[in-house]
Amino acid sequence: MSRRVLVLNGPNLGRLGSREPDVYGSTSYAGLVDACTALGKELGFEVEVRETNDEGELVRWLHEAADDSLPVVINPGAFTHYSYAMRDAAAQRTAPLIEVHISNPYAREEFRHTSVIAAVASGTVAGFGIGSYRLALRALAEELDG
């Protein structure tokens, strides 16, 4: 039986592959979707990857995950640093939630060093490019099967 997992992406992540490839790599957003769904199948997950530039939509998706007890892998993008609405929605989680970042926020500008999501997440994976998502999905599988 497949378990449903949401992989949620915030602002500008739909521009992967063309957006600052020296920071975010050359993998396109479609490549990210393919990588997540393929690994998800291996792990017994039905992975649904979503992306939005709208803070309210991300909050609604987090409510959906809480209501349906769905595990979440989330890259909040810039919302990581200041969206208390997203933090409060993530705090309502009823299943594991793993925060991911493609780059290492601590090796970048100082404003990126703070995450309002981290304190309510199961864990954070950052700095491994698209591999951060793969590591997060594997960690999720371990947490759910553990």
Domain count of the chain?
Answer: 1
Active site residue: 24, 82, 84, 133, which one?
24
Determine whether the annotation assigns residue 74 to a binding site. no
Determine whether the annotation assigns residue 63 to a binding site. no
113 in catalytic set: no
d(CA 50, CA 94): 19
Q: How many angstroms separate the most distant Cα atoms in the chain?
A: 44
Q: What is the CATH number of the domain that holds 10?
A: 3.40.50.9100
The reply to whether the predicted model has a pTM over 0.85 is yes
**Higher pLDDT, residue 101 or 110:** 101
101 in catalytic set: yes
Mean pLDDT of the chain: 89
Average pLDDT over residues 31-43: 95
For residue 17, the model assigns a pLDDT of 62
Determine whether the annotation assigns residue 81 to a binding site. yes
Average pLDDT over residues 3-30: 75
Residue 127 sits in which domain range?
3-145
Active site residue: 29, 63, 82, 101, which one?
101
Determine whether the annotation assigns residue 112 to a binding site. yes
Cβ–Cβ under 8 Å, residues 117 and 87? yes
In sequence order, what are the beta bridge partners of 99?
74, 124
Whether residue 18 is predicted with pLDDT greater than 60 in this model: the reply is: no
